[in-house]
Amino acid sequence: MKTHLFLRSCRNCWLLPLLLTSCMTTHVMTEPDSDTPDNVSYADTTLTAYFWGLKQPVDLVPPCDPRFNHLNGVTVRSTFGHYLLLTLTLGIVHKQRVQWACAPYVPIPEPIGQLNNR
């Protein structure tokens, strides 16, 4: 009798993990660029999402030069410690380390002179 009651109460237990899962994203707001010079250094910060992604971190706006406003690269990493914290808090706290590099401003060269069309 007790076994039957247990099976009946756990019949829909498979739905619980599906309802508690959520994705956590980090948005980097700028325009894309792909050329990375060697002298560009990466800046980094750690962002935290709470309550299975219901409270997202504030969008990260890199302080790139407004004349160019391009990123060279973005890397999002989670360490073993971040995963351990995520596991111990049952997904309530999720940390990510975000690294980015702003592209240096390179002015567009203008023509020195113009040809006269006759």
pLDDT digits (tens, 9 = 90+) for 75-113: 787 777 777 887 888 878 888 888 888 877 777 777 776
Report if residue 27 sits inside a domain: no
* pLDDT band for position 115 (cuts 50, 70, 90): low
Domain span at residue 76?
44-105
pLDDT at 24: 54
Residue 13 lies in a domain: no
Q: Tell whether 57 is covered by a domain.
A: yes
Edge-to-edge, what's the strand order for the sheet holding 70-77? Answer: 31-32, 70-77, 93-102, 43-50
pLDDT above 80 for 8: no
Cα distances (Å, whole numbers) of residue 19 to 23, 47, 54: 12, 24, 13
Q: Is residue 39 situated within a structural domain? A: no
What confidence tens digit (pLDDT) does each residue in 26-70 have? 555 555 545 555 666 777 888 888 887 788 888 888 887 778 777
The answer to whether position 79 is within a domain reads: yes
- Does residue 97 belong to any structural domain of this protein? yes
In a domain, 87, yes or no: yes
> pTM to 2 decimals?
0.55
How sure is the predictor about 17, in pLDDT bands with cuts at 50, 70 and 90?
low
The whole-angstrom separation of Cα 94 and Cα 92 is 7
pLDDT at site 40:
66
Reading the block at residue 61, the tokens are 């706006």
In a domain, 48, yes or no: yes
Instruction: Please count the structural domains in the chain.
Output: 1
- Average pLDDT over every residue of 4-16: 60
